[in-house]
Amino acid sequence: MTTQSETDSICCPKFDPTPWDDKIVVWENKKFIKDSVCTFFYMPVNFGSVMKRLNKTLLKADAVMPDYLCLSDHQSKWRMNLLLAVDKEIPGAVNIQLSGKYYCKVYEGPFRETDKWCKDFEQTIISRRFKTGKIYMWYTTCPKCAKKYGKNYVVLLGQIE
């Protein structure tokens, strides 16, 4: 039996890596809203507050976040853009669309392995003879939910030609 406090502490759905690992997804004008996070040497500082703000924007617009997809786009050591998938245009938000083919690979482990994952992703891209453009990271669960589930999945998505 689970208590109310145990179920309340889960805010992220359990992630199934199967549809994303070693797959190519094709998007045609996939809708996202964009916000930015302050980072300190790539480590997010205000990620939680930005996610709360984005969630409030979604609720106000009665919108849905397909697949709970939120892409991180590191701009520098000091700034990261978040692209939150949405099912429709959101008034008052920065709305963008992505189109193209994206190669996806799922990694699991502590965030400190990010550099290792990025190097592996680059090698995989080279071995498959893909030419990549923009690379995004999808942190599929918050640290609290990753701990609760016992898995911390991160998906790297690279736009390919």
Token digits of residue 41:
């040497």
> pLDDT per residue over 33-69, tens digit each?
999 999 998 888 998 899 999 999 999 999 999 999 9
Q: 20-160 in CATH: which number? A: 3.20.80.10
Q: Tell me: the pLDDT tens digits for 75-89?
A: 999 999 999 999 999
Please tell me the distance from the alpha carbon of residue 127 to that of residue 125, in angstroms, as a whole number: 6
Residue 154: pLDDT band (50, 70, 90) is very high
Residue among 3, 7, 1, 21 at smallest CA distance from 154:
21
**What's this model's pTM, rounded to 2 decimal places?**
0.89
- Measured distance CA(97)–CA(108) in Å, rounded: 28
Share of the chain above pLDDT 70, in %: 94
